[in-house]
């Protein structure tokens, strides 16, 4: 009975993220805004081309920092009310931008309200699911729930592209505003915490996690004093920033080789993003989280360097393949870091603790997206952006390997005592 209830919570959380993952479809909306700016004339967007990614970058930042109050609300008031609040905020944001071409309205609507709403929905989905299952399955469960967020562009990109072409961008925003309110509100009713006496059947596997999984629930203040928290924060900043840089501009990157079918690159990247969360989350459960992150960051760095030196008119197949692999590696971050939070610091303050770690995701996205747009405006291409991302990812490999080595030494000391 409890297992079935846990599965329904996982399914509801995945469904909520399937709606809130509209953030990853920004590049579709961005292309429509760019075309309007370039065409000029009355009744359209009149923005600075260098600022077109600003609503997306701000949404990433607001999303990340609102995870802290959203996590606190989830910890104290439960996942249902938290997720429902998120659905209302996202809906209000889309309905607001559906009424205006104004840059500041879009900053407030998409960057502010949608970003905050995503945080409250996202903060409710993962903790509710993790509490039903053993720490040995944390990576898998977190990966499944957040895979919905990564998979969302697979349907939103073609649907959004069709709606924009047939109804216009503003009417498309209105459609999403109404649809997401209905979906998130209904699914939030299924998010419930397990009863107080609930104990997952599977026990902690010391071979995979060592003694660190038995840590008690650390408070947010205690967490800020731990060097490992800051090392993981830097890792999250790098991994998320590099991935979001590509996700926010993939439609524009693909347009040269794919033309009007560039939206397909967004959808296919989403498949890589979603599958990476599940597959790499499960591998992290089995082989260790720090070691898995090291391999993921190394692979991602190689992809960034390859993209930097690829021909601007590379064929559609190469563009799609690289987008899929970059999305696959990026997806690992969203599965592994929640499970690290649970395993190292417990579930008592999980919402706030993960919210604090998640600020790295928002700042990474904000900084790398803005830097990428600035470098592109200066050079006319994304080469410099890929090179910077690749170098940062190599730094991340070193940090992840240090964390893995430190854990192995600690485990050896404990076994020898």
Burial class from Cβ neighbours inside 10 Å (0-12, 13-18, 19+) for residue 42 reads exposed
Q: In Å, what is the CA distance from 320 to each residue of 236, 260, 270, 286?
A: 25, 14, 11, 30
Low-confidence ranges of the chain (pLDDT < 50): 1, 202-214, 413-417
Burial class from Cβ neighbours inside 10 Å (0-12, 13-18, 19+) for residue 355 reads buried
CA 226 to the chain's CA centroid? 24
CA atoms of 97 and 101, how far apart (whole Å): 7
Return the sign of the alpha-carbon dihedral for residues 309, 315, 321, 324.
positive
| Residue carrying the six token digits 């949404």 | 59
What is the residue-wise DSSP string for 12-80? HHHHHHHHHGGGGGHHHHHHHHHHHHHH-SSSS----GGGTTHHHHHHHHHHHHHHHHHHHHHHHH-HH
| Residue carrying the six token digits 């996690």 | 209
Burial class from Cβ neighbours inside 10 Å (0-12, 13-18, 19+) for residue 13 reads buried
The pLDDT value recorded for residue 413 is: 47
The pLDDT value recorded for residue 320 is: 78
Burial class from Cβ neighbours inside 10 Å (0-12, 13-18, 19+) for residue 196 reads exposed
The pLDDT value recorded for residue 313 is: 61
On whether residue 274 sits in a domain, the answer given is: yes
Helix or strand (DSSP H, E) at 186: helix 169-188
The pLDDT value recorded for residue 179 is: 93
On whether residue 88 sits in a domain, the answer given is: yes
On whether residue 141 sits in a domain, the answer given is: yes
* 119 close to 62: Cβ distance less than 8 angstroms: yes
Report the half-sphere exposure of 88 (CA within 13 A, side-chain side).
6
* CATH number of the domain that residue 391 is part of: 1.20.1250.20
The pLDDT value recorded for residue 231 is: 94
On whether residue 44 sits in a domain, the answer given is: no
The pLDDT value recorded for residue 92 is: 96
- The total domain count for the chain is 1
The pLDDT value recorded for residue 312 is: 56
Q: Which of 62, 13, 110 is nearest to 355 (CA)?
A: 62
On whether residue 199 sits in a domain, the answer given is: no
The pLDDT value recorded for residue 218 is: 79
CA atoms of 335 and 271, how far apart (whole Å): 15
- Its domain, for residue 152, covers 2-39+49-194+204-416
Q: Which of 350, 411, 357, 337 is nearest to 139 (CA)?
A: 337
Token pair, residue 185, equals 């509100």
The pLDDT value recorded for residue 128 is: 80
């Amino acid at each position: 009975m409890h297992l079935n209830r846990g599965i329904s919570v996982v399914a509801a959380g995945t469904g909520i993220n399937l709606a809130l993952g509209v953030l990853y479809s920004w590049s579709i909306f961005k292309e429509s805004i760019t075309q309007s700016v370039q065409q000029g004339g009355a009744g359209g967007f009149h923005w600075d081309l260098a600022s077109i990614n600003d609503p997306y970058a701000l949404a990433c930042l607001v999303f990340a920092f609102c995870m802290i109050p959203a996590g606190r609300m989830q910890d104290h008031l439960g996942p249902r009310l938290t997720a429902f609040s998120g659905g209302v905020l996202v809906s209000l944001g889309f309905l607001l931008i559906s009424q205006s071409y104004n840059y500041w309205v879009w900053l407030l609507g998409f960057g502010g309200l949608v970003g905050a709403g995503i945080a409250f929905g996202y903060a409710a989905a993962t903790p509710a699911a993790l509490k039903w299952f053993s720490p040995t399955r944390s990576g898998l469960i977190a990966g499944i729930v957040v895979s919905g967020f990564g998979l969302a562009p697979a349907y939103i990109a073609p649907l959004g592209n069709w709606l924009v072409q047939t109804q216009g961008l503003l009417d498309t925003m209105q459609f999403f505003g109404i649809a997401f309110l209905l979906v998130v509100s209904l699914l939030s009713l299924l998010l419930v915490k397990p009863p107080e006496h609930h104990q997952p059947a599977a026990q902690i596997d010391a071979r995979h996690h060592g003694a660190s999984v038995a840590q008690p629930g650390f408070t947010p203040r205690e967490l800020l004093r731990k060097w490992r928290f800051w090392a993981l924060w830097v890792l999250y900043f790098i991994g998320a920033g590099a991935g979001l840089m590509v996700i926010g501009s993939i439609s524009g990157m693909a347009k040269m080789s794919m033309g009007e079918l560039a939206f397909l690159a967004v959808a296919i990247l989403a498949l890589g993003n979603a599958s990476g969360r599940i597959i790499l989350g499960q591998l992290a459960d089995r082989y260790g989280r720090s070691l898995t992150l090291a391999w993921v960051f190394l692979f991602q760095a190689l992809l960034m360097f390859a993209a930097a030196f690829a021909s601007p008119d590379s064929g559609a197949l190469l563009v799609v393949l690289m987008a899929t692999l970059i999305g696959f590696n990026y997806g690992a971050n969203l599965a592994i870091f929640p499970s690290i939070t649970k395993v190292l610091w417990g579930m008592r303050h999980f919402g706030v603790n993960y919210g604090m770690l998640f600020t790295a995701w928002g700042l990474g996205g904000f900084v790398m997206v803005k830097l990428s747009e600035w470098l592109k405006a200066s050079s006319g291409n994304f080469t410099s952006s890929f090179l910077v991302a690749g170098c940062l990812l190599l730094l991340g490999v070193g940090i992840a390997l240090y964390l893995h080595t430190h854990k192995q030494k600690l485990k050896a000391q404990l076994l020898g005592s």
